[in-house]
């Protein structure tokens, strides 16, 4: 049985970092502005940088369950690459008017794991 805080941090990870299938069609220019607001990442401040992973949750969970190389306290690097969209806040943005720049990549990632679930997106490798 998962502790409440651990399942809550996994749910928070899903909200902040997983968008599969990628929402909003093919318009990358407005993608970040829409999804950052929809996911609650623009209040009380515009979150500076956020990366979304476009993959099924079972593939992301697998990084913590043997499909990744783990090291340190709880960081695991994925063996395979993922489709990613990174949103970076543009200068002059403010809550209610957050504007984001979009960068799309396919790369391996590092996540922090707890109870064999990803709970924190650390970085793109």
pLDDT in tens, the chain (125 residues): 444 455 789 999 999 999 999 997 567 779 999 999 999 999 999 999 999 999 999 999 999 999 999 988 899 999 999 999 999 999 999 888 999 999 999 999 999 999 999 999 999 99
Distance between CA 125 and CA 78 in Å, rounded? Answer: 9
Catalytic-residue membership of 54: no
Smallest CA-to-CA distance from 3 within 124, 86, 117 is with 117
**Catalytic-role residue among 54, 71, 83, 120:** 120
End-to-end Cα separation, the chain, in angstroms: 32
User: What pTM value is reported for the model?
Assistant: 0.92
**Catalytic-role residue among 17, 54, 71, 83:** 17
Write down all domains in the chain, each with its CATH number in brackets: 4-124 (3.10.130.10)
């Amino acid at each position: 049985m998962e502790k409440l805080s651990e399942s809550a941090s996994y749910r928070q990870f899903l909200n902040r970092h997983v968008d599969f299938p990628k929402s909003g069609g093919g318009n990358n220019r407005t993608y970040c502005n829409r999804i950052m607001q929809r996911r609650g990442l623009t209040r009380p401040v515009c979150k500076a940088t956020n990366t979304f992973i476009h993959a099924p949750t079972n593939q992301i969970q697998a990084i913590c369950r043997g499909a990744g190389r783990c090291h340190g306290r709880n960081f695991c690097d994925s063996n395979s690459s993922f489709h990613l969209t990174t949103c970076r806040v543009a200068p002059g943005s403010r809550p209610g008017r957050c504007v984001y720049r979009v960068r799309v990549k396919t790369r391996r990632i590092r996540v922090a794991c707890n109870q064999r679930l990803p709970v924190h997106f650390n970085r793109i490798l």
